[in-house]
Amino acid sequence: MARMPSAQRRRQLTEAAIRAMARDGVAKTTTRSIAAEAGVSLSVFHYCFDSKQELIEAVITTITDHYVTIVKEALKPRETLEETVRAGFQAYWDHVRAHPDEHMLTYELTQYALREPGFEQLARRQYELYGELYTELIEQLRQDNDLRLRVPVSVLARYLAAMTDGLTLNYLVLGDEEAWTDILDTVTAHVAGLVTAEG
Amino acid sequence: MARMPSAQRRRQLTEAAIRAMARDGVAKTTTRSIAAEAGVSLSVFHYCFDSKQELIEAVITTITDHYVTIVKEALKPRETLEETVRAGFQAYWDHVRAHPDEHMLTYELTQYALREPGFEQLARRQYELYGELYTELIEQLRQDNDLRLRVPVSVLARYLAAMTDGLTLNYLVLGDEEAWTDILDTVTAHVAGLVTAEG
DNA sequence: GTCTATAGGAAGATAGAC
DNA sequence: GTCTATCTTCCTATAGAC
């Protein structure tokens, strides 16, 4: 096989691990299957990573950052506030429907991190970033539309992050495409209500 | 060890498995550790269950039914509608705070079921029961308070189930007790708004 | 029904040649 | 840096005595 600097191999193996784990689940993904997915031998894996845990740490930070990027890109300013919120949810939702396994993986990795001594921080970082992400989005919305919020930004951000998380998991388990139009409408109305100027 | 009919042993092993899995996580719980937790030898395990998978099936259905019971008992009628909703959330939340590992386990089992061929139905059953549970609770509220809903019961039920799920997971990851009072208040206000008579 | 002992396999990690 | 071969450990499941 072609030689490659260690840092690049690490990225390649991390990406391969994400593909393998999204496809097979975290529990069934072995160091061997990751090496195979990347097209290298097992020793190359252990040349780049001291242990499987070290790889999983890279996987978690990588996929978390990836997720944040996805959501950030989902929210583009539109004509009205309600339109912006609705379109943002829709864009996010389209991504979930197109890549369910990848989103499932984020939940599995959270569980993994919470159960692995020393990895709890990674799960917390993941969910803190979600919170910060929504905080940014709300601030942006607030400035663009000159809003006063009915609830503190921190509360709203955390609520939105948790709600999106719950709705996503619910969809991953139950599917049922049609039901979601109504639910997204309800959510949109609620959010629009929470951020509508009251003065 | 004392002899015991097979059905009772199955229950004993299932309960032991739930304790072990709540404590150590699904991934790290072995048939050996379950047998040890139950105080029997490994062979007893395999006398009662053909395989580890068969036990996990029992664990999933048992803990799902347990969860449903918890939530059902959380909602008792109070003076006002808002009080009832708020107290219901509070009672549920107190249970989560008292038994975080048990709730974590429900998430792990969902992931397990979704990744295990032939077990997807168990994950779906779990989330369908959550939905039905909220449907019942809403119907009860509606009759007791003579309400008209702003959204269909099915939509509201699914929304509530998903939201509770997301908030719980968020709490399990981030902790941060104080933040939740405000969030529960926001949720309560929202729910009360959705179910308030509009005629 | 319950036990001890073990078969059989798979996974993480390493050794040493190239 | 990459390879093949192997070490070591731990798991699920079974065999067979009591």
CA A32 to chain centre: 26
Backbone angles phi, psi at A53, to 5 degrees: -60, -40
Q: Are A62 and A17 in contact (CB under 8 A)?
A: no
A131-135, B52-56, B80-84, B114-118: range with lowest mean pLDDT: B80-84
- Interatomic distance A15 CA / C16 C1' (Å): 29
**How distant is the Cα of B173 from the closest Cα of chain A, in angstroms?**
6
Smallest Cα–Cα separation from A136: which of A67, A68, A60? A68
The pLDDT > 70 percentage for chain B reads: 98
Q: How confident is the model at residue B179 (pLDDT cuts 50, 70, 90)?
A: confident
Looking from the CA of A97 toward its CB, the CA atoms found within 13 Å total 12
What is the rounded CA–CA span in Å between residue B25 and residue B29? 6
Residues 6+ apart with CB under 8 A from A133: A68, A71, A72, A161
Predicted confidence at residue A1, as pLDDT, reads: 72
The partner residue sitting opposite B166, judged by closest CB among A108, A163, A186, is: A163
What is the rounded CA–CA span in Å between residue B27 and residue B110? 13
- Interatomic distance A22 CA / D2 C1' (Å): 27
What is the rounded CA–CA span in Å between residue B87 and residue B75? 7
All residues of chain B having their beta carbon less than 8 Å from the beta carbon of residue A131 are: 174
Q: How confident is the model at residue B107 (pLDDT cuts 50, 70, 90)?
A: very high
Is B103 a residue whose pLDDT tops 70? Answer: yes
Mean pLDDT value of segment B178-195: 84
Smallest Cα–Cα separation from A4: which of A44, A49, A33, A43? A44
A46-50, A70-74, B95-99, B124-128: range with lowest mean pLDDT: A70-74
Q: How confident is the model at residue B197 (pLDDT cuts 50, 70, 90)?
A: low
pLDDT mean for each 10 residues of chain A (199 residues): 93 98 98 98 98 98 95 86 89 95 98 98 98 94 88 93 96 91 85 69
Q: Are B185 and B146 in contact (CB under 8 A)?
A: no
All residues of chain B having their beta carbon less than 8 Å from the beta carbon of residue A193 are: 193
Judged on CB neighbours under 10 Å (0-12, 13-18, 19+), A133 is buried
- Interatomic distance B119 CA / C11 C1' (Å): 24
The partner residue sitting opposite B155, judged by closest CB among A159, A166, A182, is: A182
Q: Are B163 and A191 in contact (CB under 8 A)?
A: no
Q: Are B90 and B11 in contact (CB under 8 A)?
A: no
Instruction: Give pTM, 2 decimals.
Output: 0.96
Q: Are B111 and B100 in contact (CB under 8 A)?
A: no
Predicted confidence at residue B101, as pLDDT, reads: 98
State whether A190 and B186 contact (CB < 8 Å).
no
User: Where do the DSSP E strands lie in chain A?
Assistant: none
Model confidence over A13-38: pLDDT tens digits?
999 999 999 999 999 999 999 999 99
What is the rounded CA–CA span in Å between residue B4 and residue B16? 15
* Percent helix, strand and coil across chain B, each to the nearest 5: 80, 0, 20
Place of tokens 């829709």: A90
What is the rounded CA–CA span in Å between residue A64 and residue A127? 9
φ/ψ bin of A118: left (φ > 0), alpha (ψ from -120 to 50), beta (otherwise): left
What is the rounded CA–CA span in Å between residue A167 and residue A1? 44
Predicted confidence at residue B51, as pLDDT, reads: 98
**Nucleotide lying nearest to A44, CA to C1' measure:** D2
Other beta carbons within 10 Å of A72: 14
Nucleotide C11's nearest residue (CA vs C1') is: A30
